[in-house]
Amino acid sequence: MRPARALIDLDALRHNYRLARELSGARALAVVKADAYGHGSVRCAQALEAEADGFAVACIEEALVLREAGIRAPILLLEGFFEADELALIDQHDLWCVIHAQWQIDAIEQAQLSKPLTAWLKLDSGMHRVGLHPADYQHAYRRLLASGKVSKIVLMSHFARADEPECERTAEQLAVFQQARDGLSAEVSLRNSPAVLGWPQVPSDWVRPGIMLYGATPFEQAQEQAARLQPVMTLESKVISVRELPTGEPVGYGARFVAERPTRVGVVAMGYADGYPRHAPSGTPVVVDGQLTRLIGRVSMDMLTVDLTDLPQAGLGSHVELWGKQVLASDVAMAAGSIPYQIFCNLRRVPLLYLGG
Ligand SMILES: *Cc1c(COP(=O)(O)O)cnc(C)c1O
């Protein structure tokens, strides 16, 4: 059997969830959209269900996967519905729904629901992607209340730059939010992972941690609270072939690496078809039998090559950690010009193996 696989440490996931709660002092919706950032949404939700206040996903398709797996906890649709006819399923499956546009309020007014909805009313406080304009926010709130179709409204917004510790934009967005919601007494939800970790002064009744649950930092620089996260995924494989190359010989497609000294090359069963980033350059950290070394040559579809020259004990069958507790996914992502969010979401083909029930 091909040795490439991803181990998912569910105890680490629970540790990170508890950290989000501890740091915020708030209730926390575990964000498990995009198949829990590649970690498997059903197993991750099951592992958290006993303690989680609820879950958040991007769309109803993702929510139904969780409901079909027996998850009974609240599930928030972060983009609400895309078409009005989804409201029947939202009603039937007791889903919470972000409302970010006027047309969604129209649809709710016209909907036939068996019971009132929980709505999260989203303000565009400056990210300018989705959300109601500040000038329309109070009117939207009153319309929703008056519709008789909602039982509860949570006030929410989303930060564009909370991962930049020195950036004033987060405080500006908060000020826009506070002004727009002035006088509305309702629960509030503002903080994603970087805001949970780095913006303790931002109020929240509900936080929405995503990437931090999976143990990766959203920050580019070292950050005190992010250092407390435990990596959840270990992407691992084995050395399946070894080459001794004399100085001057190339490795792999495009001869991207040429040996500058007699080089022992280990070939690892892992490639971009598994989600390992093709743009990771020579020098990207990788761990072989517990020892740090480097990727060399171009990543191909099913294989990549590593430098074993200084690891004489390593060879055929050696264990390789592409990322995990020794090499952080965020470091691999940075080397490849990406972010941990994307390299997790790109994971495919490798079997996921769950540890810690
Ligand atoms: C994805 C998402 C989150 C989680 O973001 P992280 O940076 O992964 O914590 C929170 N809120 C909304 C609205 C999202 O779309």
pTM over 0.85: yes
Distance from C-alpha of 109 to C-alpha of 205, rounded to nearest angstrom: 27
158 ligand 1 Cβ < 6 A? yes
Same fold, 10-219 and 233-355: no
Distance from C-alpha of 259 to C-alpha of 246, rounded to nearest angstrom: 7
Its sign, for the CA torsion 212, 216, 218, 219, is positive
Span from the CA of 159 to the centroid of ligand 1 (angstroms) = 9
Residues 300-323, mean pLDDT to the nearest whole number: 98
Per-residue pLDDT tens over the stretch 331-346: 999 999 999 999 999 9
Task: Tell me if 222 sits within 8 A of 35, measured CB to CB.
Answer: no
Tokens 């280990």 locate to: 266
Q: Does residue 211 carry a pLDDT above 90?
A: yes
Of 203, 159, 207, 148, the closest CA to residue 181 belongs to: 203
User: How far apart are the two ends of the chain, measured CA to CA in Å?
Assistant: 24
Domain ranges for the chain: 10-219, 233-355
209 ligand 1 Cβ < 6 A? yes
Ligand 1 atom 1, closest CA: 210
Q: Does residue 212 carry a pLDDT above 90?
A: yes
Which CATH number is 10-219 given?
Answer: 3.20.20.10
- Domain 233-355: CATH superfamily is Lyase, Ornithine Decarboxylase; Chain A, domain 1 (2.40.37.10)
122 ligand 1 Cβ < 6 A? no
Per-residue pLDDT tens over the stretch 229-283: 999 999 999 999 999 999 999 999 999 999 999 999 999 999 999 999 999 999 9
Q: How confident is the model at residue 348 (pLDDT cuts 50, 70, 90)?
A: very high
Distance from C-alpha of 196 to C-alpha of 23, rounded to nearest angstrom: 7
Across the chain, what does the average pLDDT equal?
98
Q: Which two tokens stand for residue 295?
A: 């990727």
Q: Which two tokens stand for residue 155?
A: 């006030």
Distance from C-alpha of 120 to C-alpha of 188, rounded to nearest angstrom: 9
Angle subtended at Cα 121 by Cα 120 and Cα 123, rounded to the nearest 5 degrees: 135
Query: Which numbered atom of ligand 1 lies nearest the CA of 58?
Result: 15
Q: Does residue 347 carry a pLDDT above 90?
A: yes
Distance from C-alpha of 288 to C-alpha of 311, rounded to nearest angstrom: 8
Distance from C-alpha of 281 to C-alpha of 252, rounded to nearest angstrom: 13
Distance from C-alpha of 40 to C-alpha of 11, rounded to nearest angstrom: 15
pLDDT at 340: 98
Catalytic, 253? Answer: yes
Of 114, 194, 196, 131, the closest CA to residue 162 belongs to: 194
Q: Which of 57, 62, 78, 206 to mutate to test the pocket of ligand 1 (most atoms within 8 A of CB)?
A: 78
pLDDT at 357: 78
Q: At 150, which helix (H) or strand (E)?
A: strand 150-157
Task: Tell me if 235 sits within 8 A of 241, measured CB to CB.
Answer: no
Q: How confident is the model at residue 104 (pLDDT cuts 50, 70, 90)?
A: very high
98 ligand 1 Cβ < 6 A? no
